Structure 1
Amino acid sequence: MTSYRRKPSIVAAFTSLLVMLTLMAGMPTDAHADDPLEGPTILLGGGIQRMPAWLGADHQHNQAVPFIYAELPWHITLSTTDGLTVDLIHESQWHGGLYGNYQWGRDRDELGPRLEGIVDSLPARLNLGGYLEYHFTVQFDVGTNVSHDTNGAGAYYTLYADYDLPAIGYLMHSAELQWQGMNGPAMRRFFGLTPQQAERLGVNPWNPGSGSQQVSLEYSAFMPTSLHTGFALLIEYTRLLDQAADSPLVRHYGNANQLTTTLAFSYRF
């Protein structure tokens, strides 16, 4: 499941680092890399992600994932880790505008033999909404986003704080604290159980409403390996909260503690 926030500042820091290394090497650089109306900055790559089989699961699986980060003209940013943002404010400290993200679902194989055929599988969905953030310093910012399922009633709201940690040599890294809530339909989509499902599982039905869903802490790092390449590492610990953690799906068949790790290799064009 993707994170709900704006573009990752650590990737921007990595881009700046590569430009700095290019200058040190005496090579020509893209003079318009930071101009939103000029040529784009694009990082492409791929890697492996180890993540919970479904939101709240007690087991994990590995999957190949693309790694894309693109700063496009007109203040548009596209990222496989943070979705799409269109910055309509683009001031020195305030940023905000349109926001979109892709949300993982769950299929029968991921549910496992105890739940498949009883608990609903969930297709992936596209969420659209808006975001607003404030940069206190170059290193520290806070923000929020609100999005809505484009093919359903689910709504999601997020608060986050991001801090760029001091570099260790060429290693650029950051930490982010994030809280997320859901409305009732979204909460029931992931954590609810109908009376029929509950009877087949031998647990109580669960019909949660809106409220806190999770809090997470993420560590992100980039280590360049050349003027244009580098490794990306993301480690995210998530704790499900309140009605999400109390769901019989999580208490009897899953775990409120969730860990996701991603390792990817990227190339900057």
Structure 2
Amino acid sequence: MPRHSRFILLLACTLPTLWPLTGAAADSTVLAVGAGVQRMPAWAGARSSREDPVPYIDLELPGVGSFSTLNGLELEFLHGPALRGGLYGAYQWGRERTELGTLGGKVPTLSPRLNLGGYLEWQIGKALDVGANLSHDTEGAGAYLNLYADTDLPALGPVEQAATLRWAMMNGPAMRRFFGIGPASATALGVTPWHPSGGSEMASLEYDLFVPTSRHTGVALALVYGRLLGGAGNSPLVQQFGTANQWSESLAFIWHP
């Protein structure tokens, strides 16, 4: 799929939902739109990076659900005072030959996919949420479990900040799709074939910053450090041609009503 066409789809691991971090009540409608740029690994496990212009969308409708370019689509069916849950959907990046660099033609390209499943989120307090989403590739290539904890940090005057801790897991087919190496690829790369089983894929920490520039506009910054684990971190793709340390940065200009 051409890169410019992917921007209108759900984006995984892109710009953060920064508006508002602390200012809106749980029963308030939230709308924020904008545009920015993101620097991220060229492919899962890569040492090199790519930079893409990306859209920013964050829409939250209390009791209905939300759509954002960070968290995908959530349709709320469980409406507890602290516990919420429902249907979850997200777009998942693949990898193109141009993004593989010297590995192009030696390892398979991966088409982008749509994942569908469910989510649960528990609001522990005004400043802390914990949750999980479990989804499966709609084309049958694997299952994914993500656990997370979001917290608001003390504001620095008008500047708002937050942090998120995530732990991502994959089943065997998903792990082998991204980090496995078949016999043909192993021969081309001069490495041993790699057939990892399911388990932990990445632990990451994200820091978000929102700087208002007017009553209705602001600049959002996100810094994410991730560490590949288990079969992902031990893959020869990562050990010999990439790195287990994965960095992403994004900057966006945002408008809100």
Partner of 2:21: 13
Asked if the contact 1:164/1:173 (under 8 Å) is kept, the reply is yes
Give CA deviations for 1:195-253 in whole Å, capped at 9, x if unaligned. 11101110000011111101000011211111111111111100000110110100111
Sequence identity (%): 51
Q: Which residue in 1 is equivalent to 2:68? A: 79
Kindly indicate whether residue 99 of structure 2 is the aligned counterpart of residue 106 of structure 1.
no
Deviations 1:83-135 (CA, angstroms, capped at 9, x unpaired): 111122232211111111111111001000x2101111111111111111111
Query: In the alignment, what sits opposite 1:20?
Result: none
Residue aligning to 1:233 = 221
User: What letter is aligned with 2:149?
Assistant: A
Structure 1 position 95 matched with structure 2 position 84:
yes
Structure 1 unmatched ranges of 5 or more:
18-32
Cα distance in 1, alignment partners of residues 189 and 200 from structure 2: 26
Partners of 2:22 and 2:152 within 8 A in 1: no
Q: Which amino acid aligns with 2:31?
A: I
Matched position secondary structure for 1:44 = strand
The residue correspondences of 1:1-269 to structure 2 (distance < 5 A) are 2-3=12-13, 8=17, 10-13=18-21, 16=24, 34=27, 41-72=30-61, 74-112=63-101, 114-269=102-257
Whether the aligned pair in 2 keeps the contact of 1:14 and 1:222 (CA below 8 Å) is: no
Q: Greater Rg, structure 1 or structure 2?
A: 1
1: CA distance, partners of 2:30 / 2:230 = 41
RMSD over aligned CA atoms reads 1.9
Contact 2:27 2:62 in 1 (8 A): no
Q: Deviations over 1:6-55 (max 9, x none)?
A: x94x43436639xxxxxxxxxxxxxxx945xxxx5321110010000000
Secondary structure in 2 matching 1:98: strand
Task: Give the length in aligned residue pairs.
Answer: 246
Partner of 2:6: none
SS of the residue aligned with 2:81? Answer: coil
Structure 2: give runs of 5+ residues left out of the alignment.
Answer: 1-10
